Amino acid sequence: MSYTVSFREVQSEPTIVVVGVGGTGSLVADGVCRLFAKTETKIMLIDYDRVEEHNLLRQNFYPGDVGKFKSQVIAERLARFYGRPIGYSVFPYEKDLLNENYGAGFIKQAINLIVLGCTDQAESRRHIAESITWQNCWIDAGNGYQSGQVLIGNTVEKDHLKESFSISEHRVIRLPAPSLQLPALLIPPAKPETPRDCAEAIDDNSQSPVINQAMATLMLDVLWKLITDKLTYMGIYLDLEAGTLQYVPATPMTIARMFSMKESELFQNKCALGARYHL
């Protein structure tokens, strides 16, 4: 039995936040604008890196962009091309970056966010995980040389997965966040290395020149299926060398095996307590 992913809080009037606009993110940002061209959906790009010479051609930048902030370059270009406002931030993504601070300790939490994680930094992913609440969701894309994965979820606590599935409606309202599905995403490299972007990885032959396009396409497909109420899986694993594409179905069996839970814990309890009393 298949279950449709129903994150109602982010499916009606979402704010799309793209974290990282390098190799994968710059392509995703353009794709998001195309998908939501005829809507008033808010779009926000976040990246504190500047465009460097080696980014040209390998990423979605041009010679005149060198030295500028990546998020600003992409946001201004897309805003001109699509004739719509595109927000951007040149600060690192952190838990409270998009919250509104009214002073005196009053903070309005950002809600209805679909965070598209296009970063390969463990610290950035940790900040994304910290910002995810039941009213937001996280779609993460990560890749190696010729392989990668796209994961989607809205719950960072295992216990919150209980009663997530409705048998009668064939829907699931909570799925494990990417950091729960693949904890290694939050683990930094054992040996500290100088951070490299996708262009540098391609230049030293440690990354395929087409993997970013493939990951961007998969991420956009997941996003569109979620918005149009057609998503039935919580992860995709791609291997270009082997020519394989494997889906992780969003089913009680999958989650029960992943987290050593009983399937019965994952079904919604529909006991009709209200029928006990009558006036």
The structural domains of the chain, ordered by start, are: 4-276 (3.40.50.720)
DSSP secondary structure code for residue 166 in this structure? E
Average pLDDT over residues 102-126: 82
Phi, psi at residue 54, to the nearest 5°? -75, -10
Q: Which residues pair with 108 in a beta bridge?
A: 100
Alpha helix positions (H), the chain: 8-11, 25-35, 70-82, 122-131, 178-181, 198-203, 211-227, 252-259
pLDDT of residue 279: 39
Chain position carrying tokens 């990423």:
59
Residue type, 109: Q
pLDDT tens per residue, range 164-181 = 999 999 999 999 999 999
Cα(237)–Cα(247) distance, integer angstroms: 6
pLDDT tens per residue, range 232-278 = 999 999 999 999 999 999 999 999 999 999 999 999 876 544 444 44
